[in-house]
Amino acid sequence: MPRMNSTKDRLIDDAERLIQRRGFSATSVNDVLAVTGVTKGALYHHFPGKDDLELAVLKRAGEAFLRWLDDVLLGPSPRESLRHFFTCALEHHQREQFVGGCLFGNTALEMSDVSRRHTDYVDGVFREWSNRLETVICAGQRGGQIREDFPAQDLALMVVATIEGGIMLSRLCKNERPLRSCLDSLVAFLWTKETS
């Protein structure tokens, strides 16, 4: 059933688009009001403060990302699950023309020294992402598809960090090459020789 386009939903949608490109500090309440056409009273009816709106953006984006991750990590084998995830991640950023980057990576960089509320939530998203990857990597190690000389937890963290770095560099140069190179390097590093 499609979500109703309520005032609250519109505020979150438009705030997310602005924050994705500008960041939290450069996105004011007035910017959000100008885009949505909502009154300040209506905004504060749904969100007591700007931080509350920002956290609602993060929460909804985090839930959507983890659902997407569960979908794209489905495959006939652990190796194919990871390959599908890598392909879908690259295609997503290609569609966005490498504008906006990753909301969670952006938040970690911008807010880590500013707001624990923001970064605690993002830390949770990264942990959930890493946990899901660890599950797939463990299965791949048991099946001989993924190298076993590093703990699955460490490999999962490496995948997250490598992808985030690739997204940042591709966003910087507006070119797919850095992200694609990072993903290709992950495949070369993770796959066992006999399954590459």
Would you list the domain boundaries of the chain?
Answer: 58-195
Task: Give me 135's structure tokens.
Answer: 């599950």
Closest CA to 53 of 34, 27, 35: 27
- Name the DSSP letter for residue 104: H
Please give the Cα distance from 74 to 61 (Å, whole number).
Answer: 20
pLDDT of residue 196: 46
pLDDT of residue 193: 75
Cα separation, 75 vs 73, in Å, equals 6
Contact assessment for residue 90 and residue 179, using Cβ atoms and an 8 Å cutoff: yes
Q: What is the pLDDT of residue 4?
A: 53
Residue 192 has a pLDDT of 86
pTM above 0.85, yes or no: yes
CATH superfamily of 58-195: Tetracycline Repressor, domain 2 (1.10.357.10)
Q: What is the mean pLDDT of each run of 10 residues along the chain (196 residues)?
A: 71 95 95 94 94 97 98 96 98 97 96 95 98 98 97 98 98 98 98 68
- For residue 196, give every residue at least 6 positions away whose Cβ sits within 8 Å of its Cβ, in sequence order, or none: 187, 188
CA pair distance 73, 173, nearest whole angstrom: 28
Rounded Cα distance, 48 and 100, in Å:
27
